[in-house]
Structure 1
Amino acid sequence: MTTLAATMDRVATATGFSGVVRVDVAGETVLERAWGLADRAYGVSMTPATRIGVASGAKPLTALAVMRLVEDGVLSLGTRAREVLGADLPLVDDAVTVEHLLSHRSGIGDYLDEDDQDDMLAYVMPVPVHRLDAAESYLPALDGHPQVFAPGTGFAYCNGGFCVLALIAERVSGVRFQELVRQQVIEPSGLTATAYLRSDQLPGDAARGYLDDGPRTNVLHLPVVGGGDGGVYTTAADVHAFWTALDGGRPVTPGTRDEMWRSRGFLDRTDRLDGYGLGFWRWGDAVVLEGYDAGASFRSAHLPGRASWSVLSNTTEGAWPVAAALDAVLTDGSGRPGRDAPLDVR
């Protein structure tokens, strides 16, 4: 019988994978391996402790920071964005609420519409990336995009909506967004390596993001500091700690967590993700984090109270074949993570 470790090593070697894979089942870490280089220029090897950018895998942190403010009574799911935005972003419909933004049902025009991206390696940011270092700095990029549909009448994945959430959270709390996430989410969840690092001054334990097989990094493709829609750096161990914290009722109460994990309906998507809650994807009985950008690909699936498996890569496409192979081993015969999936980790 082929072991899980052997299967992952075969797929990682065959695809030239650069990143980290971790699998935890019933409280036991059954696999944690690293492949490739964190820094190609200096030949620094990837390790399980390497911090890797997870792109939109950071959206749940934004959602949790917002929901902490909801629990504290500073915001409500029914708070209208206009109440906080004032005269800013006038094309955002006056009826858009915090809940609409969290569930990708706001209908606002997106500054970075992934459905229109044919080339993930293109320079797609509408303003110089070095200027995008704080929630307020996104205002010029978010402005000028007409409403796509009436709030609450459809679903459209919207990066801009989470940037608006960061702006709202920062304004009502009086705390810089990245610091707010650290105080309200990262520290209460026990995450020791997760942070919004500057891409132009990464520390030695962080992986550079690579566009392809060569030496070019993604430093000119993404905001210099991650914001509401993504860009945090983390480790495989912290991703597992994140799931463990949520199972244990941190950083939000179990009731709030369950509401965030509740799917807002079926999504007509071509991939296997079949629902979305408030900041979290749903796939069968699993809750999923996913990120995809120039020099970053990430997927983590979690069966609450039972198992989690994660793939973090510092290349644009690297995570997907490894994640597909991992899913095939850890899901049931239907290819979906059901509560009774065998989780074959031999």
Structure 2
Amino acid sequence: MIKTLHEQGALDHFNGVVYIKQGETTLLKESYGYANRSFLVPNQIHTKFRIASVSKMFTAVAILQLIQEGKLNVHTSIVELLNLKNTTLSKEITIHHLLTHTSGIADYYDESAGDEAWEKMWQETPIYTMRTLQDYMKLFIALDPISTPGETFHYNNAGYILLGLAIEKVSGMCYDAYIKQHIFDKLGMKNSGFYSLDEVIPEVAEGYEQMEGKWIRNIYTATPTAASDGGATSTVDDLMLFIEGLRHGLLLNDDMTNKLLTPYVIDEGSNGFRDYVWKYGYANYYLLDEEHHIVRGGHTGEEYGFSSRVYYYPQEDIHIIILGNEGFNAGKLGWAIHDMIIKK
């Protein structure tokens, strides 16, 4: 596989680490490029990367763990749970709506607005002040809704902030402590955490973007601390433990595992791309074939300086982890690998 990817040029200029397994067999596990470009320190297999929205998968697992314990259910009103009655949020918004991005609430940042909107937002609210889940609330809690709950899919980071607050409220633990105890520690994910960009943590890759022919660090464009909508730090080995453990029922019982691995809503903006049916579940993007069989599941992650993919192909029993420290560099590689799997 590595020879074919090189021949196709898919690994040219890629900065990061790739890990592919089929069953118990490793098909590819290689590192590329630099973790630190100033001192030309290479990425290695054990290098840690910010994983952006892949972290939403942790949030979804935590919510279903609490549902499994009878402390929540998918129909729980987030307004009533968090006492948000004096906001623009509808009392009809449920946990299911938030998990599937169908809540209809306005996001604190509309990803379709592009990079300029992201940069402008942090001119008004200094990005370095975003340290807790509560810090994000002021950015969206008073905005008018964009649709009624359950009406349509619209990718929404704010919804996962609310889910993080729900985890804290119901569990009595801070979000990152809950994830560490109930997911990371349970699976032996010893190199995963919720580190801040301004912390000195061993073996964490720096994030880079190419702008006007120069390499630029992401220190002014990435939120300093991870939240329940994204930004945790992990390695390819830890994320392989996570996705295999999730699919094999090590984090949830059979019923809840099936609920988390089920497609629910059409992503109308992507549907039909590459001739697939595109659906979203509980922090899972799905590609379905014309017979509605799941071809691929998993999640993507993008932020300034980092790009990540966690994919699984249930029919082939293939799991893929791609972690890069350059914005949007995992997507092209992910599709190249996808095409190889489908063609084979």
Q: Compute the TM-score of the two structures, normalised by the length of structure 2.
A: 0.90
Matches within 5 A, 1:106-117: 106-117=103-114
- Give TM-score, length-normalised by structure 1: 0.89
Call closer, same or farther: CA 1:123–1:203 in 2, change over 3 Å.
farther
* 1:246 alignment counterpart: 246
Equivalent position amino acid for 2:320 in 1: W
Letter in 2 for 1:68: Q
CA distance in 1: counterparts of 2:35 and 2:10, whole angstroms: 15
What residue number does 2:304 align with?
294
Note the 1:224-243 alignment, pairs <5 A.
Answer: 224-243=224-243
Distance 2:4 2:83 in 1: 54
Tell me which stretches of 4 or more aligned residues in structure 1 moved more than 3 Å.
118-126, 270-273
Q: Deviations over 1:26-77 (max 9, x none)?
A: 2111110111001112221101111111111111101111111111112111
Deviations 1:189-217 (A, max 9, x none): 33221111111124131111112263422
**Cα distance between partner residues in 2 of 1:220 and 1:41:** 17
Contiguous gaps of at least 5 residues in structure 2: 289-293
Match of 1:26 in 2: 23
Which position in structure 1 is the counterpart of 2:255? 255
Deviation, 1:248, is 2.0
Question: Is this contact kept in 2: 1:107–1:156, CA < 8 A?
Answer: yes
| 1:283 correspondence with 2:259 | no
Counterpart-to-counterpart distance in 2, 1:89 and 1:294: 34
Residues 128-156 of structure 1: per-residue CA shift (max 9 Å, x gap): 22222222222222322211111011111
Q: Relative to structure 2, which stretch is displaced further, 273-282 or 111-120?
A: 111-120
Distance 1:88 1:7 in 2: 56
Answer yes or no: is the 8 Å Cα contact 2:63–2:163 preserved in 1.
yes
Quick one: distance in 1 between partners of 2:65 and 2:180? 12
CA deviation digits over 1:139-183, x for unaligned, max 9? 222322211111011111101100111112112222111111111
Q: Judge which range, 190-199 or 105-114, deviates more.
A: 190-199
Deviation per residue, 1:266-305 (Å, 9 max, x gap):
3223345711111111123221210112111112210238
SS at match of 2:128: helix
Report if aligned partners of 1:81, 1:96 keep a CA contact under 8 Å in 2.
yes
Q: What is the Cα deviation at residue 116 of structure 1?
A: 1.6
- The aligned runs of 1:104-253 (5 Å cut-off) are 104-119=101-116, 122=119, 124-125=121-122, 127-212=125-210, 214-253=214-253
Secondary structure of residue in 2 paired with 1:182:
helix
Of stretches 282-291 and 42-51 in structure 1, the one that deviates more from structure 2 is 282-291
Tell me what 1:338 maps to. Answer: none
**Aligned residue number for residue 48 of structure 1:** 45
* Residue pair 1:89, 1:144 contacting (<8 A) in 2 also: no
Q: How many residues align?
A: 329
Question: Any idea what SS the aligned residue of 1:207 has?
Answer: coil
Give the distance between the partners of 1:77 and 1:13, measured in 2 at CA.
41
CA RMSD of aligned residues (A): 2.0
Q: What's the offset of the Cα at 1:123?
A: 5.2
SS in 1 for 2:240: helix
CA 1:173/1:322 → structure 2, altered by over 3 Å: closer, same or farther? same
Kindly indicate whether the alpha-carbon contact (under 8 Å) linking 1:209 and 1:294 is maintained by their aligned counterparts in 2.
yes
**SS of structure 2 residue aligned to 1:211:** strand
**Structure 1, unaligned stretches of length 5 or more?**
333-341
The match for 2:5 among 8, 19, 26 is: 8
SS in 1 for 2:5: helix
Q: Percent identity?
A: 24
CA–CA distance in 2 between the matches of 1:217 and 1:103?
A: 33
